[in-house]
Amino acid sequence: MSEDLARVEKFLAENEAGYLEELKAFCRIPSVSADPAYREAIAQAARFVAGRLQQAGFDRVSIVPTGGHPVVTAELCRMPGAPTILVYGHYDVQPADPLERWTSPPFEPAVRDGRLYARGSSDDKGPLLIPILAAEAWLTQCGSLPINLKFLIEGEEESGSPHFSGVVAALRDSLACDLVVSADGAMWRADLPSVTVASRGLAALDVIVHGAAKDLHSGRHGGSAPNPIRVLARLLASLHDEEGTVTVADFHAGVIEPDPAILQAIDAAIDVGAFDPRTYFTGIGASLPEPLPSGRRLLMRQWLEPTLEFNGIHGGYGGAGTKTVIPSQAQAKITCRLVAGQDPTAVKDAIARHLRQRVPSGYRLEIVDHGPGTPAFALDRDHPALRMTEDILGELLGRQPLRVAMGATIPIGAVFRSELDVPTVFFSFATSDEDYHAPNEFFRLANFRVGLIAWARLIDRLKDLRSCD
Amino acid sequence: MSEDLARVEKFLAENEAGYLEELKAFCRIPSVSADPAYREAIAQAARFVAGRLQQAGFDRVSIVPTGGHPVVTAELCRMPGAPTILVYGHYDVQPADPLERWTSPPFEPAVRDGRLYARGSSDDKGPLLIPILAAEAWLTQCGSLPINLKFLIEGEEESGSPHFSGVVAALRDSLACDLVVSADGAMWRADLPSVTVASRGLAALDVIVHGAAKDLHSGRHGGSAPNPIRVLARLLASLHDEEGTVTVADFHAGVIEPDPAILQAIDAAIDVGAFDPRTYFTGIGASLPEPLPSGRRLLMRQWLEPTLEFNGIHGGYGGAGTKTVIPSQAQAKITCRLVAGQDPTAVKDAIARHLRQRVPSGYRLEIVDHGPGTPAFALDRDHPALRMTEDILGELLGRQPLRVAMGATIPIGAVFRSELDVPTVFFSFATSDEDYHAPNEFFRLANFRVGLIAWARLIDRLKDLRSCD
């Protein structure tokens, strides 16, 4: 270890107590992006981030307006010729409801059992604060950073980032970099170091079946009038086979083989007992299917296979008792998770074609397209930054991390790829069990400590990024 | 025509203007049974009916409490040995929403183009007032009625009559009679006299499919977690074939052949152009199925074939945009219309068996039974009272009425059959196009006039009921 890095790590370790107080202060700001009632808190959180970057010594700190909540940008680019890294994170948080299920109030941070309980502590205020503090430590202890570092911190991640790709496009020149490192994301399991190297894409559409122009009495008209629920059920049932595999023609068009490292990671996860089918189904409170699928099969389905899921279905009467109505329409909400090689628009077109071919006469089919969707994300398996993050985690956590995929969609990977033409690696110290979209969100203080050291080392090693290319 | 009857008819004709004012006063009372906000109006409507029966000269007029809104009973039984007839009707009305679609306010009766516009004018205040006025005319003009007449007027018909069968059972002795004549119901078409001789029964159940114990993220869990919407759609799709015919084993068990008179009526209706498939689908605002079913086929389906209709389907997210959720449950509401010979409980059991056999492992099926249901109703095709009503309509409307069935369920027919062991004939002067469950309900004043004469005659002829038995 270089003397510089040793000094940085020592400084970080000595200042932990103060960092925790700063994180608590950050978590006291109820920056809920989805609820307009928290608009002032959002502005306050943006100012907090900007102020902290300023205090750390960053240049050109800006709060940049968007069509929604602002982004915060900053840079410390004083090393001509060294690699330039853009750090991504977000200062907004999920809503805190239901409040009554919190043990301590969501915006009054409380430490219990080595965990900091607060809304946003894990997603993403703790993980986001870490690289700022690590950069500051480099600057104060060594007078400079070995790389050029930029920050882009958004305020709408928990609301679907509606303005994000536009902002990245608009700021393309000032965000130019060699690599994005995301401080958002989460390690798969608390007991098993991992890095995320792929995530599924997303395509969304609504299917609406129309029958008569108004709701009809099911006594008078039952048997002769069109029933859109019946037809919708038949249409939806035609989209999968009995095992739940999508049967839509061309749905799987273009799918490419997954990174063998992910398949190896699945096997490794099963081997170390990190994923057990029985525990999985029990954990989500579902009864066990028979025969029980293997863990490998389930992880394949979560990580590496596309899905067509029904997220909602609605039509007719839903209250207590009965109402003898034939509704004029029924609708379903569909989202597909996509794997590498699938084109979101082509997938939606294939589904629309499938349904249009099957809608019987006497009914009208309406399909609502929810935007362009997001292709799957996959990091180049040989990217040197990926190796660096794996090595650092291996050193600090005692075992080489697994390469894992995410079933969920990470739109930023696709945005940075298309707008800045750079890959994104994930280096977050949150863990996926930290209830970050539920009551009693917490952040493990042990991971806060490890994260500070890990980021200090990553800043050090990334100076060699270009020479590894 | 007897001198008595001639006097009665003359009196009724002379007093029409006053009767209309009385009907308006009745319609001014917003006796909406479904909404607790109208509780006082319900009580007022019950008092109105009781007061009018008292004024007409009825004995033992009572407002009888039930678990819900009261029933009004009265009798004029001064002819020992003569037949006893129980008249049924209801003083409650449908809610008036949406108010903005009424041309004149729902509870401010207005006459336009020979129609009285008001909520309840057609269903059932106009048709119900008629037999009271006809009986009064008999009493004032002749000093007595040729038969014994009882009234049972309920206040919960528009709310599913939850206490009705209990009240009829409790009042069994005082309601004893030879025949029920319902002043509720409606003629099928304004241009074609008809009598209703059959109606379909009803069985209702909810189907709920449970997956995980809570809603899950469709990114993280999509592909591995159970999706109850998918399974519900498959289950529902298995209940019909492509043409919409019910495929449940034993669903049709016990079905008996319909009254040939109804089949003849269907043919007659088609012959006189009273039912045209193109007009039917256009009228309900649906696009035309191809090939277009024949009118005979459609009427068969409405009147004489059982149905299994989905009245509602709900699960997961139903708002704007997308929400990437896999819901923990999805449910559908089902009602079946039953034909003669089907047992409501057996039908529900058959559906439950069908579904239980098909629910895949890993899911839990819950079936909610909505009570005992109602068997189909069919009047003895040779009942003398049926002939009497047909003859009177033939005399007054210029052509012999068709015998029609109703797709909808008339629970009172089954209640009077099981509790009092008597048949029910329908003698209402409402017409099914009078928007009685919609804005701008109206009652044709021409039918009000015809109804008064018709009821005067029916009271006269029913004196011969026993001798026809």
pLDDT per position as a tens digit, A322-358: 888 899 999 999 999 999 899 999 999 999 999 999 9
pLDDT given at position B449: 97
Q: Are A240 and A247 in contact (CB under 8 A)?
A: yes
Q: Cα distance from B446 to chain A (closest Cα, Å)? A: 25
Q: Which residue reads 């790709």 in tokens?
A: A165
E-only strand ranges, B132-227: 148-154, 179-182, 194-199, 201-210, 216-217
pLDDT given at position B433: 87
The percent of residues in chain A predicted with pLDDT above 70, rounded, is 99
> Each residue of A110-144: pLDDT tens digit?
999 999 999 999 999 999 999 999 999 999 999 99
Residue A410 has pLDDT above 90, yes or no: no
Check B337 against A234: CB less than 8 A apart.
no
Q: Contacts of residue B307 in chain A, CB cutoff 8 Å?
A: 218, 222-223
Check B222 against A309: CB less than 8 A apart.
yes
pLDDT bin (cut points 50, 70, 90) of residue A78 is very high
Q: Contacts of residue B406 in chain A, CB cutoff 8 Å?
A: 219-220
Searching chain A, which residue's CA lies closest to the CA of residue B243? A360
Q: Are B30 and B93 in contact (CB under 8 A)?
A: yes
Pick among A200, A214, A216, A224 to test the B interface (most B CBs inside 10 A): A224
A with B: how many residue pairs have Cβ under 8 Å apart?
Answer: 275
E-only strand ranges, B317-459: 325-326, 329-338, 364-369, 377-378, 402-406, 424-426, 442-444
Residue B160's Cβ-count burial label (10 Å; 0-12, 13-18, 19+) is middle
Check B330 against A313: CB less than 8 A apart.
yes
Region of B150 please: left (phi>0), alpha (psi -120 to 50) or beta: beta
Low-confidence ranges of chain B (pLDDT < 70): 1, 467-469
Check B225 against A305: CB less than 8 A apart.
no
Check B361 against A290: CB less than 8 A apart.
yes
Searching chain B, which residue's CA lies closest to the CA of residue A288? B362
Residue A468 has pLDDT above 60, yes or no: no
SS3 content of chain A, % helix, strand, coil (to 5): 40, 20, 40
Q: Contacts of residue A281 in chain B, CB cutoff 8 Å?
A: 362
Q: Which residue reads 């397209």 in tokens?
A: A369
User: Residue A60 has what DSSP assignment?
Assistant: E
- Peptide bond preceding B124: is omega within 30 degrees of 0, i.e. cis? yes
Q: Are A191 and A435 in contact (CB under 8 A)?
A: no
Q: Contacts of residue A226 in chain B, CB cutoff 8 Å?
A: 286, 289
Q: Cα distance from B156 to chain A (closest Cα, Å)? A: 15
Q: Are A47 and A63 in contact (CB under 8 A)?
A: yes
The minimal CB distance from B284 to the residues A216, A234, A281 is found for A216
Check B222 against A281: CB less than 8 A apart.
no
Of the candidates A316, A284, A237, the residue with the CA atom closest to the CA atom of residue B331: A316
> Each residue of A97-111: pLDDT tens digit?
888 889 999 999 999
Q: Cα distance from B226 to chain A (closest Cα, Å)? A: 8
Check A309 against B227: CB less than 8 A apart.
yes
Check A302 against B223: CB less than 8 A apart.
yes
The minimal CB distance from B233 to the residues A237, A311, A409 is found for A237
The minimal CB distance from B289 to the residues A223, A313, A361 is found for A361
How much is the pTM? 0.84
Domains of chain B (ranges, CATH numbers): 3-185+410-468 (3.40.630.10), 201-255+306-369 (3.30.70.360)
Q: Contacts of residue B216 in chain A, CB cutoff 8 Å?
A: 284
Neighbours of B66 (CB within 10 A): 17
Measured CA to CA, the distance from residue A158 to residue A91 in angstroms comes to 10
Q: Cα distance from B361 to chain A (closest Cα, Å)? A: 5
Q: Contacts of residue A98 in chain B, CB cutoff 8 Å?
A: none
Check B364 against A287: CB less than 8 A apart.
yes
pLDDT bin (cut points 50, 70, 90) of residue A264 is confident
pLDDT given at position A271: 87
Of the candidates B187, B186, B129, the residue with the CA atom closest to the CA atom of residue B153: B129
Searching chain B, which residue's CA lies closest to the CA of residue A284? B212
Check A363 against B325: CB less than 8 A apart.
no
Check A229 against B302: CB less than 8 A apart.
no
Searching chain B, which residue's CA lies closest to the CA of residue A297? B224
Measured CA to CA, the distance from residue A445 to residue A109 in angstroms comes to 13
Q: Contacts of residue A407 in chain B, CB cutoff 8 Å?
A: 219-224
Check B213 against A285: CB less than 8 A apart.
yes
Of the candidates B402, B310, B340, B307, the residue with the CA atom closest to the CA atom of residue B199: B340
Pick among A207, A241, A280, A309 to test the B interface (most B CBs inside 10 A): A309
Task: Give the residue-averaged pLDDT of A205-224.
Answer: 93
Measured CA to CA, the distance from residue A95 to residue B54 in angstroms comes to 64
pLDDT given at position A381: 84
- Residue A20 in tokens: 């925790």
Measured CA to CA, the distance from residue A81 to residue A172 in angstroms comes to 19
Check A321 against B232: CB less than 8 A apart.
no
Check B219 against A337: CB less than 8 A apart.
yes
**Could you tell me the sign of the dihedral formed by the alpha carbons of A291, A294, A295, A300, in that order?**
negative
Check A409 against B301: CB less than 8 A apart.
no
Q: Contacts of residue B288 in chain A, CB cutoff 8 Å?
A: 361-362
Check A313 against B313: CB less than 8 A apart.
yes
> Each residue of B119-158: pLDDT tens digit?
999 999 999 999 999 999 999 999 999 999 999 999 999 8
DSSP secondary structure, B426-465, as one string: E----BTTS-TTSTT-EEEHHHHHHHHHHHHHHHHHGGGH
> Each residue of A432-448: pLDDT tens digit?
889 888 889 999 999 99
Three-class SS state of A198: strand
Q: Contacts of residue A302 in chain B, CB cutoff 8 Å?
A: 220-224
Q: Any residues with CB less than 8 A from the CB of B230 and at least 6 apart, and which?
A: A236, A240, A244, A309, A310
pLDDT given at position A405: 87
Task: Give the residue-averaged pLDDT of A362-379.
Answer: 92
Q: What is the mean pLDDT of chain A?
A: 94
Q: Which residue reads 């995980």 in tokens?
A: B212
Q: Contacts of residue A316 in chain B, CB cutoff 8 Å?
A: 310-313, 333
Q: Cα distance from A321 to chain B (closest Cα, Å)? A: 7
